[in-house]
Copies of this chain bind each other. A is one copy, B any other.
Amino acid sequence: MAAWGERLAGVRGVLLDISGVLYDSGEGGGKVIAGSVEAVARLKRSGLKVRFCTNESQKSRRLLVGELRHLGFDVSESEVTAPPPATCRILKERGLRPHLLVHDDVRSEFDEIDTSNPNCVVIADAGEGFSYQNMNEAFQVLMGLENPVLMSLGMGRYYKVTSGLMLDVGGYTKALEYACGIQAEVVGKPSPEFFKSALWEMGVEARQVY
């Protein structure tokens, strides 16, 4: 394994995950993972470009950054790449009007999107919002479309909170895929487009990022 100095030669920026890397989310704002506040501070002091790239789809960036700042992290909304804004860009580009199966805490990210007379479904980590009724409503919207489009904000299996493991959006996307006989389009990691948009926002190239 190459020494750190060698591996970091030419590196101009660092992409950091958030949940499970900087902190474990949970009741009362979650819990810092030991050493991560200082690690972020040191990276920033080093002059490297730092960007936070997350599949968080249960909270708006405003809420997420609020939590992180409360825990001591030096982070601003403009430094966060997350699936909701990327999804909004795609929806606008393709003239899609989504039925939103999302958590109330992320709904504000879609404020500028036309959701009347839906011609697609956007699914994100809805948490308790994944009721049978809400899932069935999304299912019925998809079954009523001639060309059903399902857009999934990430495909996480589960995530860790302070109280244990929690089902993430991926399983629920699989449920709708199976019931409707369709395949979802995933917006978020590990999609190359998603990483590319993070790099573009940083102003660096892939080979310059760790």
Contact = CB atoms under 8 A, between A and B. Distances in A.
A130 interface: yes
A166 interface: yes
Contacts of A133: 128
A167 B177 CA distance: 11
A178 interface: yes
Interface in A89-134: 126-133
A115 to B, nearest CB: 21
Interface of A: 126-133, 135-136, 139-140, 143, 157-158, 164-168, 170-172, 174-181
Given A128-B132, A140-B164, A157-B179, 13 more contacts: A126-B132, A129-B132, A135-B167, A139-B158, A139-B165, A139-B167, A140-B165, A157-B178, A157-B181, A171-B175, A171-B178, A172-B175, A174-B177
